[in-house]
Amino acid sequence: MRDPEPCRMKHTEEQTVLIKEKEENGELNEEEEKHHIKAVEKPLSCSQTKQKDLKKRRDRVKSFTCTQCGKSLTSNTSLKVHMNIHTGEKPFTCDQCGNSFTKSSNLKEHMNIHTREKLHECDQCGKTFLRASNLKNHLKVHTKEKPHSCSLCGKRFSQLHILKLHQKIHTGVRDHMCFECEKTFITADQLKVHQRIHTGEKPYKCSHCDKTFSQLGSLKKHERIHTGEKPYHCTACGKSF
């Protein structure tokens, strides 16, 4: 689509040529000079206006750029939340266990641990998950898909991050250290669970009694006392445990 024609200039083509000649000879009077300046200031075409607006939007985006890491955010509010990562500020605190978070969405997701609410259910086995991403990874159990192979021992994994963790067994890398006792761990999750020994934190509460636990596995084991569940079966005698 062609741009609309700019507004007409005050001078005709002949007048413009005449004024340019006078300008070159330094013969323009004050009134002619004033009109000449106005004449040469062409209004912006439609496409030029769009480009100008686009530049303004880009400048606005630049104004929401993190000075620490250079990341660009869409709003000033998003930038403030992002800055918590660098400052270490965690303004959103769980009223159940005291855990703090940089984002309200992280706190909301964390609360599912206490409410035991699991929104994403596997249509193959009925197992439920807190996150859709966890469900997606779980589905590979049913498809038997294991596209990631260890180059050192050939063992295969359904997820890349599990392969990377596995490879640390071969390399001996333990890059997560507890600052309280200097014990080292392969994963950040292992360190987090370990630190509860020092903090006394027990975020997992039994839904049948008031007992709390530092690890989810310990809670599940405890709840079998109430439910009577015996998930382990001896293939030799058929006894359940």
**Per-10-residue mean pLDDT, the chain, length 241:** 46 55 54 49 60 60 73 82 80 84 82 72 81 81 84 87 86 85 86 90 89 89 89 85 79
In this predicted structure, what is the pLDDT of residue 114?
75
DSSP string, 81-144: HHHHHHH----EE-TTT--EESSHHHHHHHHHHHH----EE-TTT--EESSHHHHHHHHHHHHT
- Among residues 222, 226, 224, 216, the alpha carbon closest in space to that of 240 is found at 224
pTM score > 0.95 for this model?
A: no
Any idea which residue has 């030799």 for tokens? 236
Question: Can you list the domains of the chain with their CATH numbers?
Answer: 174-240 (3.30.160.60)
In this predicted structure, what is the pLDDT of residue 113?
74
In this predicted structure, what is the pLDDT of residue 26?
53
In this predicted structure, what is the pLDDT of residue 137?
80
In this predicted structure, what is the pLDDT of residue 88?
75
pLDDT in tens, 168-189: 888 888 878 888 898 988 888 8
